[in-house]
Structure 1
Amino acid sequence: MPTRQRRRLLLSAVTLTAIGLTTTQALAAPTAPPTAQTWQVRHQADVGKQHAQKVRGATASTAFSPKADAGAGDGGDEAENSAEGTAQYTEARTAPGVVAPGAYGAAWAQLRSTPRTDGNWTHVTDKPYNSDDPRYRDVNSNSSGGAGLVTGRITGIAADNDGYVYAGGANGGVFRSRTGGGHWEPIADKLPSLSTGTLDLDEGGRLWYATGESNTGATSYVGTGVYVLGDPKHGQFKPADRVGGPELESTIIHALRFGGGRAWAATSRGVWSHSTTDLSGPWTLEFAPNPEYLPGGSKAADPSAPYKNIANDIAIDPKDPSKVILAIGWRGGDSYNGFYGKAAEGSWQRVSSLGDLPTDAANVGNVTFARSADGSRYYAIDQSPDVMAHNPDTGLKGVYVSKSGSPSGPWTLIADKDKLKGSGSALQDPGYQPGIQAWYNQSLQVDPANPDHVYAGLEEVFETTDGGAKWATVGPYWNNGFPCWSIDPAKQTGDCSQTTHSDQHAVAFGAYQGKANVYVGNDGGIYRRPSAGQLDAWGHGKDWTPLNDGTIDTLQYYSVGVGKDPADRSGKGVIVSGGLQDNGESILRAHDKVMGSNFGGDGGDTLVNPANGCDIAEEYVYLDLWVTQNCATNDGSWTKDPSKATSYEVAPPDKDTNAARFIAPITSDPKDADTWVAGGQHVWVQHKGYAIRSGSEWTSAYDLGAGHVATAVATVNGTVYAGWCGPCNNQGFSRGIAVGRTDGTGWHQLNLPVEGTLPNRYISSFAVDEKDAQHVFVAFNGFSRTWTEGPGAGIGHVFETRDGGATWADVSANLPDVPATSVKILPNGALALGTDLAAFYRAPGTTDWRVLGRNLPTTSVQQLKLGPDGRLYAATFGRGIWSIDPRNLNEDNDNQD
C-alpha cells in the first residue's frame, strides 16, 4: 500500500493547485496516462548505501543477506519496507544460525499432546475492513486510495467454472467460496501450517495446497509440505492429506506444476517431483544446484545455505512433458542463477540461449511462468539481479512470450519497465517505477479461453488482450496522485474507479453463473473483475470488486491495543486497534459493523489508553510514531485547513537515523499511563502520554550502543528492561538486556554470556510484575539448539528472575519448542504466552503450561494485551485479532483435537 511518507507529502499541499493541478486540469478529460506526484522518499542515504551494497553483492556475501538487498536501489520506502520487514521477521526466528527441517513439525506434534484449558476464543476482526472509510480521512489514513475492503496478503488462488474459489493467506490458511468470491469458510485450519506458497486445481479437480509462503526467499520455517484435497467443494484439509513424507518441511514452495503424471515443486531447497496418482512415498529431489548446502550436506550450517538452492518456477512442454525448463536462482544474484534443462544423458545443464529471455546468471532472478490452455503460448516474467543492482527505478528485466508454446522458445520480449510505465501505471517517480519490487511482486496467468489474453502482476495489475503488443494498467497502485483524486467523503475513492490493493502475488481465472472472471491476490486480499472487463477514461479497470467481506480474515497484525469507547453509553464497550502489515492501523469501535483504517502504510506497534480508546499511539515503521486523541476521525477538512489535522508525528530521534528495528517496541507504565518507553538504539522516555505533540519531547534514558537496537521494552514504576540485538541476523548474532530507570539513572547491562542460562537468541518480550519490578519474565524467539545450528542457541523459551536479572530460571517446562513472541502476567498471577503455533497458559502456583482455550487458528500470536474489559486480546500474524476471558479458567485434559 502507499507509504505514509508519500501520503504526507502529497497531502501537505492543501489544494489541487498546490499539488500542481489546476481546476481545469482536474476536470479535463485525460489525453494521456496520468502521472503520480513526485513524492520524496524516506531514508535516501540508507537506500544509497544499500544500493552500493547490491552492486558489490553480485559476487560478495552481501548478496545472500536479506538486509543487504532490502530496498537496494529502489529509491522508495515500499520496497525497502517489504524486504526489511520480511528479513527481520525471519531473523527473529532463525538467529543465531540456520533452522534444520522438521522444527515446526516437531513443535506441532508436541502441541497436539499438550493439555488445554477450557474457554473459547472469540474472533474480534470478523468484520469487513474498509481502507476507504470516510470517517478517517486524516493526513495519515489510506482513505480514498481506492482499495476498498481489504484483508491480509493472499498468496494463492484457484478457481473453477462452477463458482468455487479458493484463496490462500500468507499465514492464514485456505478459504473457500461457493459463490464466485465472498461468503468464505476456512478449510485448512486443522493443518500444522497455514502459510500459503501456492494453490492449484489439477485436471481431476483436486486442490493442491503447497505450504511455505514464497515471498520471503530466506526463511526456513514456514511450510510443512504439500497437501491434496480430493473433494475441495465439500471437504477440509487434514494432516493425513500430506503428499509424501517430511521432505518438504521447513521449505518455501514457490510453484507447483503438473505434467507427465507428476507434480513438480519449485522450493527453497531445489526442485522436487512426486507422482500425482500414488500420493504416498517420498518426494524425489530432481535438481539442486548446490546440494552441499542442503540439510545434511557439508555446508548446511553455512549462513548463506538458505539462499543456495532456490528454485522459482518450472515450465513443462505441453507437447512433450519430458522436456522441462527450471528457473533457478536467488533474487539478489548468485553464480548458479539461470535456466536449466535435462541433457540427453539425463543430467541437468544450464540453458545457454532462449532468444530474448536472458540466460546469464546476472539477469535471471525471480521468474514466473504461465502456459496457455491450448498449449500455443508460454509467458514469463523475469526479475534481474543486475537490473536491481544498477537501475534505481526497477528490478524488472521484462515480460516474454514463447509463441511456439515450448518453454525452450524462442522467447520474445513483449514488455519492459518503460512499456508498462506508459500503459497507465501510477508509478512514474524516479526510484519507484513498474517492477521495483519484482523480487516480491509477481503473478502471471493466461485466460483459458484466449491465449493472447494475459494478466501480469507486479506492484500493479497489467492486462494485455493481444499477446503483449499493448498493455493496460487495469489495477493501478492507488488513486492518490491522479488528477481525478479527491478526498471528498461523499466520493469514497474520489473521481477514479476503484482499484485493487497494491503488491500482486496471485491470479486465476474462473466462472460463476456462466460469467468468466479474473481473480487477483495481493497485500490487501482478493479482488475480482469480469474477464471481459471494461476500462475507464484513464485506461484503468472500472469494474473491480473487493471480495474481502469480513468472512475471510487473513489480516497480519503486529500489535493490538484496547481501550474504553467514550461513545458507548453502557460504559462497557471497547475500541480495538492494531498495526498491520501493509494495511495501516485498523480501528473497531464498540458498535461498528465495519472496521476503519485511521493510519496508513504499514502499522507497527500500538498503544491505546485503556480509559479512552480514542487516545492512540501508532508506529509506522522504524519508530515513526504518531498520536491522536480523537481516534483520528476526520472528514478531510485538513485539506483546506492544515490545523484541522487530528494526528501528530511524535517520533523519537532514532527514527531519523534509522537506528531502530522495522517494528520497534513501545510501551507505557501500567502505574503511570503518561510515561512511555520506546526502543531504538536508545531507550527513549516521555512523560506527556497522549498529549505529546513533538518528537523533541522524548529524552534518551540510555544508549544501548552502536549497532544495537531494542527488540523488547517493559517498564513498571520507573524501572525499565530493554532487550536488544546487534548484529541481529545469524552472521555474528548477539543479544543483551539493559536495566535502568526512566530518569536515566542506574543503567547497566546484565551479564549474558553466549553459553549460559539464557539462550543466545532473539529477545521478544518482557512481563514485569506490577507489585515487584525485580520479578520479571522474558520470552525468547527462535528454536532451541535441537534445531538451530548456531552458537549458544540454548534451550528454553520463557525464563524468570526475582532479583532484577542477576539470576534466571528456565520456566519453559512442557512448552513445545517453538518461537515465543509475547509473555503477559495476568491479574491473578497466571502467565499467558503467545507463540508461532498457539497461545499458552500457566495457572498460578503451577509449573506446567496448557494450550489456552479453543477455536484459535494455528498461526503466529504476535502480541498479547489485556483490555479494560478483563479480556485477553491476541494479535495474530495472519488470522486477525481474537479475545478470550482468562478469568476462572479450568484445565481441560483433551489434546489439540
Structure 2
Amino acid sequence: MRFRARYRRSITVAAIVAPVAALTLTASLISAGDQRSLATTTPTGPMELPDEWMATQRLSDGSTELSAETYASARAEAAGVELRTRNIYRHLADQEWEFFGPGNIGGRVVDIAVDPEVEDQIFIAAASGGVWRSSDAGMTYEPVWPDDWVQGMGAVAMTSDGTLFAGTGEAQPGGGSITFGGDGVYRSPDRGETWEHVGLSDSHAIARFAIDPSDEDRIFAAATGNLFTPGGERGVYLSEDGGDTWNQVLPPLNDTTGATEVLIDPSDPDRVYAAMWDHLREPHQRTYGGPGSSLWRSDDGGQTWQRMTDGLPTDDDQGRWGIALAPSDPQRLYAYVGTALGPFRAFYRSDDGGDTWEQTPVTAAQASQSTFSWWFGKIWVDPADKDHVFLAGVNLMRSTDGAMSFSSSGGVHADQHKMAWDPAVPDRVYLGNDGGVYRSDANGAGGTWTKATYEPYTQFYSVDVAETDPALHVGGTQDNGCNRGYDGVGGPWASIGCGDGLQVIIHPADPTIVFGCSQYGSCYRSENSGGTPRQSIGANQTTSSRRNWFTPLQFDPSDPEVMYYAGNIVNRSTDNGRTWEPISPDLTGGGPNDPAGYPWGTVTTVAAAPTDGDRLYAGTDDGKVWWTDDLGETWTEVDPGQLPGTWVTRIAVHPADEKIAYAAFSGFRSGSDRPHVMVTQDGGTTWTDIGRGLPDAPVNSVLPTPDGLLLVGTDVGVYVSAWNGGEWASLGEDLPMAAVLYMRYHESTRQLSVATFGRGIFDTTVPVCRGASTRLPLREPGVGVRGALSSCRAAQ
C-alpha cells in the first residue's frame, strides 16, 4: 500500500458574515456624482476571438452572465447536500480527499503582499486558488483561505499591524480559461487565521487595494465589476474605518466600466490615481475597450477626481490602462494602454504628477503584449530608482532609462501580473505570473529569478492515471502545459510539452506511452512517458475542419490499440494513434457565422462501450448527442427535444451494458428544469434526467463504476449516486471549492482522481456500496432511491 499524504488547511474561520460562497487636467473638479454623463459614444467592437472555452460552455444555457450570485447559490446548495450526506451517509461524507500534487508547477498569481513586520513572509492571491502564505521568502506556500469559500481572487494587501485584506474575483478575463467572480472584500486581523466579509458583495472582482500610509484606516479598492453584466459595484471605493464600510468615490463613466488600478502618492496621500477599463464579455463576443477606459487623479483624498488627458488619447479606441508612480519621485508617472481589440497601443510618461504626458518610443515588440494587452495592465517602478521600470507582458520587460526602451528580464514563466519589493531586504523583489511566484535578490535583473519550490495551486483541465499503477498521474494545465507526476504523492512533476495542456492520457497497458494535447487538438504521441521524440497528431493526421479547445482523445476500453479523436468529425486509429481515419460525418450544427469567432460546431466528448467495440456515443458543444452501433457506418442523432441543448461536457458508457450511457451537461438551469445529468437505457433512443438533487452548477465529468455507483464532478464538488440516480450525496471532505473539470476512476484500487481548476490534483478512495448495482427502475426526477447508498462503507 503506497504512502498517502493527507492535505489539510490549517485555518479557523471566525466572524463569518459572507454567504457560503462565496488635453490638460479637466479645468473643473468633477464630483463622484457627475461623471457618468461624460461617456456618450458607442464602445469600440464587437470582438470575436477564438477563446473563452470555459465561459462559453457555461453560457450555453442561454445566459449572458456568470454572476457571483449564481455561484453563491450553487455553493449554498452544495453545502446543503453535504449536510444531508453527513446526517444520512456518514461513510460517504467521511471519505478523505488527499492532495496528490503538483507542488512544483504553480499557477497564475495575481497579487502579492509583503508582510511589513514578519521577516521573509509574504501573502499571494492565486487566480482560482485562494490566498496563500509563504514564511521562507517566497519559496513554499500554505493556504490561509477557507477551502469551502469562493476561490477566485483578485487582490491582497496588508497594513503595518498585520491586518490582511483579500479582494475576491479575478479582474483580468481569461483566454481559453475562465474568470471566476467573487463576492467582495474580506479582512483578516491575524494574518489569515480568521476572516470576515466586509463589503462590496456586488463588485464581482477586486483588482487592487491601496492603503494610506499616513492613516491605515483609509483603504481604497479598485472594483472591476461583473465581466458579463453591466452595472453593480464598480469604480473606486474608499473605506475610512479600516474596511468596515465602503463608499464609492470614483464612479465609472458608464455601466460597463470598472476600476483596475488605484495607487496613492506616498509623499502626499491626498493625491490618488486610478485606471478605469471599459469592457464586457458576451456569449459570442468581447468588447474590451471604449469611452470608459481612462486615467484619473484626485488631489483631495478621493473626494473629487480629474481625468488626465493632456498628451493622452481621448478617442474610444482605448483598452486596458496600466499606471504606476515612482516612489522615489512621485512626480514621475508611467502609463500604457492597449487598443480595444487587444494589441499594445502606446506608452506614456509624466514628470509633473500627471499634469502633462509624453509618449515614449516603446514599440509593440518591446511591450510584449501580444494581442491581449487586457491580460496585463500593470507597471512597476523600482522604489529606489525612478528610471528602473518593469512592464507586465507575455515576457517581463525591464527598462533602465525611464521607459525610453525595454528589454526582457529573462528566466521566468510567461504572462506577468504582479511585482512587489521587500522594503526590509535591499534588492529583493517578488514576481507573480501564470507560472506562480519568483524571487530576485538582484533587483529583477535578467537571469536572477528563482522559482518557488512548493506552490500547490495549479489550474488543471484533465487528469489520467496509469492502469498498471495508479500512483502515476498525468494532467493538462492552464498555461503550464502537459505534466507528468510519476514520483508519487508530493513528488515533483515534470513538464512533458504542450502550450496550454488539455487532454493527457496514458496507455492502459504501457505507462511509457503517453498522449498529450495542446489547445484545439494539437496532440502528440510519445513512447518516452511524454518525453521526446513525439509524433504529432492534429490537423495533418486527422480529418476535421473545426476542433474544440479541449479536443477529446480517448482509448477504446475494449482494445487499447484503438483510439478516438474528434474535431467536428470523429476519427479512429487502430494502431495506437500512429494513423487515423474519419468514421463520421460532421456531427454538429456547423460552425459560427463569423469564422473569427469561437469554433462552435465541435465534438466535445467521445465514449466507446467497454462491452461492444462497435458502439460509440458522441456529444457536441451545440448540445447534440449521437450514437452508432456499427462503428460509424451509420450515426443516429438523439431527438433534440429530449436534451437540454447545452454543451455536452462528457459521456460515459456503462461498464457492463453498452445500451446504458450517461451524459453530463454544462450551463445552469436558470430557473428551468434543464438537466445536468441524463441516462439512456436503450442505446440512445430515449433519455431521462437523473440529475435532480445536484447543485445547480455545470457538471463537467461523469463516471459509472462497475459496482453500481455514479460519480460526477461539478464546479462545486464531487457527488455520488446509484447507477439510476434518484438521490445524490457529496463525496468526502477537504476537497477545495475549485471547479472539478475531470475525473479518473481506477477500478482495482477504487482510487478516484480529480483535476481541479486552481488547487491541483486530489485523490480519494471510493467506498464500497453493496447492493448499489441492483438494477433499480428509473425514478421521477427528484424522487429519492433510498437504500442504494445506505450500505456504503469505506473500502478495506
How many residue pairs get aligned? The number is 684
Match of 1:675 in 2: 562
Classify 1:844/1:800 alpha carbon distance in 2 versus 1 (closer, same or farther; 3 Å): closer
Match of 2:434 in 1: 523
Amino acid in structure 1 at the alignment position of 2:528: N
Among 611, 634, 655, the alignment partner of 2:509 is 611
Once residues 344 and 409 of structure 1 are traced to their aligned partners in structure 2, the CA distance between those partners, rounded to angstroms, is: 12
> In 1, Cα distance between the equivalents of 2:407 and 2:560?
52
**Can you give the 5+ residue segments of structure 1 that lack an aligned partner in the other structure?**
1-58, 71-83, 129-149, 292-307, 390-394, 422-432, 476-498, 535-540, 566-571, 635-644, 727-734, 787-792
Residue 214 of structure 1 aligns to a residue whose secondary structure is coil
Report whether the alignment pairs 1:543 with 2:448: yes
SS in structure 2 at match of 1:439:
helix
Q: Is this contact kept in 1: 2:703–2:711, CA < 8 A?
A: yes
Q: Match for 1:178 among 117, 135, 139?
A: 135
Partner of 1:724: 620
1:211 maps onto 2:184 in alignment: no
Match of 2:645 in 1: 760
Residues 511-562 of structure 1, C-alpha deviations (whole Å, 9 max, x = no match): 56x444111111211111025455xxxxxx1321111x13x11211111111
Aligned to 1:5: none
> Alpha-carbon deviation of 1:383?
3.1
Partner of 1:486: none
Instruction: State the Cα distance separating 1:279 from its structure 2 match.
Output: 3.5
Name the structure 1 match of 2:584. Answer: 701
Deviation at 1:663, TM superposition (A): 1.3
CA drift at 1:848: 2.1
- What amino acid sits opposite 2:574 in the alignment? H
Distance, in Å, in 1 between the alignment partners of 2:252 and 2:103 is: 44
Match of 1:579 among 476, 482, 503: 476
Q: How far does residue 874 in structure 1 lie from its aligned partner after superposition?
A: 0.4
Deviations 1:14-69 (A, max 9, x none): xxxxxxxxxxxxxxxxxxxxxxxxxxxxxxxxxxxxxxxxxxxxx9999344xx14
Q: Which residue of 2 aligns with 1:491?
A: none
Q: Aligned residue for 1:663?
A: 550
Q: Distance in 2 between the 1:597 and 1:401 partners?
A: 40
Superposed, 1:207-286 pairs within 5 Å as 207-216=164-173, 221-232=180-191, 235-236=192-193, 238=195, 241-244=196-199, 246-248=201-203, 251-258=204-211, 261-269=218-226, 270-277=234-241, 279-280=243-244, 284=248, 286=250
Q: Report the 3-state secondary structure (helix = DSSP H, G, I; strand = E; otherwise coil) of the residue aligned with 1:738.
A: strand
SS in 1 for 2:548: coil
Matches of 1:805 and 1:845, distance apart in 2: 15
Q: Which amino acid in 2 is paired with 1:819?
A: P
2:653 pairs with 1:738: no
Contact 1:558 1:580 in 2 (8 A): yes
Residue 495 of structure 1: aligned partner: none
Q: Hey, which bits of structure 1, 4+ residues long, moved more than 6 A?
A: 59-62, 217-220, 342-350, 654-657, 889-893
Residue of structure 2 in register with 1:190 after alignment: 147
Please say which of residues 113-122 and 851-860 is displaced more in the overlay. 113-122
SS class of match (1:505): strand
Query: Which one scores higher on RCO, CA 8 angstroms, separation ≥ 6?
Result: 1
Alpha-carbon displacement from aligned partner over 1:297-325 (angstroms, at most 9, x marks no partner):
xxxxxxxxxxx334433455663647654
Measured at CA, do residues 326 and 600 of structure 1 come closer, stay the same or move farther in structure 2, by a change above 3 Å? Answer: closer
Q: Quote the Cα distance in structure 2 between the aligned partners of 1:892 and 1:154.
A: 44
1:284 Cα deviation from its structure 2 partner: 4.1
Is structure 2 residue 738 aligned with structure 1 residue 859?
A: yes
**Does the 8 A contact of 1:622 with 1:658 survive in 2?**
no
Please say if residues 111 and 155 of structure 2, whose CA atoms lie closer than 8 Å, have aligned partners that are also in contact.
Answer: yes
User: Equivalents in 1 of 2:712, 2:484: separation in Å?
Assistant: 24
1:113 aligned partner, one-letter code: G
Shift of the 61–671 alpha-carbon distance from structure 1 to 2, 3 Å rule, reads farther
CA contact (8 A) 2:102 2:492 kept: no
* Mapped contact 1:244–1:283 kept (Cα < 8 A): no
Paired amino acid for 1:123: F
* Larger deviation, residues 738-747 vs 714-723: 738-747
1:84-103 deviations in whole A, cap 9, x for unaligned? 2xx11111112322234401
User: Is the Cα contact below 8 Å between 2:662 and 2:680 reproduced in 1?
Assistant: yes
- TM-score, normalised to structure 1, is 0.70
Q: Contact 2:172–2:179 (CA<8 Å) still a contact in 1?
A: no
How far residue 871 of structure 1 moved from its aligned partner, in angstroms, is 0.8
CA distance in 2, matches of 1:782, 1:285: 36
Q: 1:609 to 1:173 in 2, by over 3 A?
A: same
Matched, 1:774 2:659: yes
Give me the whole-angstrom Cα distance separating, in 2, the residues matched to 1:759 and 1:685: 28
Match of 2:63 in 1: 97
The 5-angstrom pairing of residues 37-116 of structure 1 reads 63-65=45-47, 68-70=48-50, 84=51, 87-95=52-60, 96-99=62-65, 100-115=67-82, 116=85
Asked if the contact 1:654/1:660 (under 8 Å) is kept, the reply is: no
In the alignment, what sits opposite 1:639?
none
Counterpart of 1:108, as a letter, is R
Which has the larger strand fraction?
2
- Letter in structure 2 aligned against 1:858: M
For 1:657 and 1:747, how far apart are their aligned partners in 2?
17
Segment drifting more, 834-843 vs 308-317: 308-317
> 8 Å contact 2:690–2:724 — kept in the other structure?
no
Aligned to 2:693: 814
**Structure 1 residue 401 corresponds to structure 2 residue 349:** yes
Tell me if the contact between 2:388 and 2:400 (Cα under 8 Å) persists in the aligned partners. yes
Q: 2:251 aligned with 1:287, yes or no?
A: yes
Read off the aligned partner of 2:356 and give its amino acid letter.
P
Deviation readout 1:769-794 (Å, 9 max, x if unpaired): 122222122111122113xxxxxx64
3-state SS, counterpart of residue 330 of structure 2? coil
Task: Please report how far the alpha carbon of residue 765 of structure 1 lies from its aligned counterpart in structure 2 after TM superposition.
Answer: 1.2
Q: Residues 333 and 361 of structure 1 are in contact (CA less than 8 Å); yes or no, is this contact kept in structure 2? A: no
SS in structure 2 of the partner of residue 612 of structure 1: coil
Letter of the 1:743 partner, please give it.
L
CA contact (8 A) 1:340 1:349 kept: no
SS at match of 2:198: coil
The Cα of 1:274 is off from its aligned counterpart by 4.3
- Higher helix proportion (structure 1 or 2): 1
- Rounded Cα–Cα distance in structure 2 between residues aligned with 1:353 and 1:245: 30
The yes-or-no answer on 1:503 pairing with 2:401 is: no
Q: Using the alignment, how far apart are the partners of 1:344 and 1:474 within structure 2?
A: 35
Amino acid at match of 1:453: H
Deviations along 1:725-753, whole A, 9 cap, x unmatched? 34xxxxxxxx2212224622231221213
**Aligned positions of 1:579-598 closer than 5 A:** 579-590=476-487, 593-598=491-496
Shift of 1:378: 5.2
Is the Cα–Cα contact under 8 Å of residues 63 and 332 in structure 1 kept in the other structure?
Answer: yes
Aligned residue runs from structure 1 range 109-124, under 5 A: 109-115=76-82, 116=85, 117=92, 118-124=94-100
Q: Secondary structure at the match of 1:420?
A: helix
Change (3 A) 1:398 1:743: same
Structure 2 length as normaliser, TM-score? 0.79
Q: Provide, for residues 834-881 of structure 1, a one-character-per-residue CA deviation record: whole Å limited to 9, x for no partner.
A: 111211122467632222112221101110012364311101111111
Q: Do the aligned partners of residues 442 and 614 (structure 1) sit closer, same or farther apart at CA in structure 2, a change above 3 Å counting? A: farther
CA distance in 2, matches of 1:344, 1:373: 17
Contact 1:191 1:237 in 2 (8 A): no
Does the C-alpha gap of structure 1 residues 679 and 380 become closer, same or farther in structure 2, counting only changes over 3 Å?
Answer: farther
> Which residue type is aligned with residue 206 of structure 1?
T
State the partner residue of 1:457.
Answer: 392
Preserved CA contact (<8 Å) 1:253 1:265: yes
Counterpart residue type for residue 312 of structure 1: T
Native 8 Å contact 2:604 2:649 kept in 1 = yes
SS at match of 2:56: helix
Amino acid at match of 2:127: A
Letter in 1 for 2:164: L
